[in-house]
């Protein structure tokens, strides 16, 4: 029996450096430095809308391009879709190498931002000289 969609998503996400899993909103979410880069949506949960899926952050304009290119595979997920996230259905003819790429792209977007935030908060502040 092949692994479940969740098992495959979990393996792809947790293979990325410093990635960790946190349950939120009743679903597994995947994060780097506690910043969300992917979320699993089970078919039976209201997030999944009857089909298992993974939601990922997409670069500017990519969500629209992906959905227009293949609306049977990609969709705008509830809640985060307006912020550019893209959903990938995981129940019909899934191209797992493509899912891996989308997850990796999402991770890279979030990791870069998380690094900038961490660097900014850890950089020393200049103190004014007292005269």
Instruction: Give per-10-residue mean pLDDT for the chain (131 aa).
Output: 92 97 92 95 76 95 96 93 95 95 96 67 49 44
111 neighbors 56 (Cβ within 8 angstroms): no
Q: What integer pLDDT is reported at residue 119 of this predicted model?
A: 53
| Cα separation, 127 vs 90, whole angstroms | 53
- Residue 76: inside a domain: yes
| Cα separation, 98 vs 118, whole angstroms | 30
- Prediction pTM value: 0.84
Task: Please name the residue that has the structure tokens 């994060």.
Answer: 31
Q: What is the CATH number of the domain that holds 58?
A: 3.90.1150.30
Number of independent structural domains in the chain: 1
- Residue 130: inside a domain: no
Q: What integer pLDDT is reported at residue 19 of this predicted model?
A: 97
Q: What integer pLDDT is reported at residue 120 of this predicted model?
A: 55
Residue 42: CB atoms within 10 A of its CB come to 18
- Residue 65: inside a domain: yes
Residues of the domain holding 23: 5-122
Q: What integer pLDDT is reported at residue 109 of this predicted model?
A: 95
- Residue 108: inside a domain: yes
- Residue 111: inside a domain: yes
- Residue 128: inside a domain: no
Q: What integer pLDDT is reported at residue 117 of this predicted model?
A: 58
User: Between the CA atoms of 72, 78, 79 and 81, what dihedral angle is there, to the nearest 10 degrees?
Assistant: 20
- Residue 116: inside a domain: yes
3-state secondary structure of 14: helix
Return the structure tokens found at 2: 């092949």
- Residue 127: inside a domain: no
109 neighbors 36 (Cβ within 8 angstroms): no
């Amino acid at each position: 029996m092949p692994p479940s969609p969740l098992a495959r998503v979990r393996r792809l996400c947790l293979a990325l450096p410093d990635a960790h899993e946190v349950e939120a909103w009743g679903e597994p979410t995947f994060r780097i430095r506690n910043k969300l880069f992917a979320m699993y949506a089970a078919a039976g949960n209201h997030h999944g809308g009857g089909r298992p899926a993974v939601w990922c952050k997409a670069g500017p304009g990519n969500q629209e391009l992906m959905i227009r290119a293949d609306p049977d595979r990609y969709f705008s997920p509830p809640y985060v879709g307006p912020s550019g996230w893209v959903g990938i259905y995981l129940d019909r003819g899934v191209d797992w190498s493509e899912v891996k790429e989308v997850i990796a792209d999402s991770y890279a977007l979030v990791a870069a931002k998380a690094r900038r935030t961490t660097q900014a908060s850890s950089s020393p502040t200049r103190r004014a000289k007292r005269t």
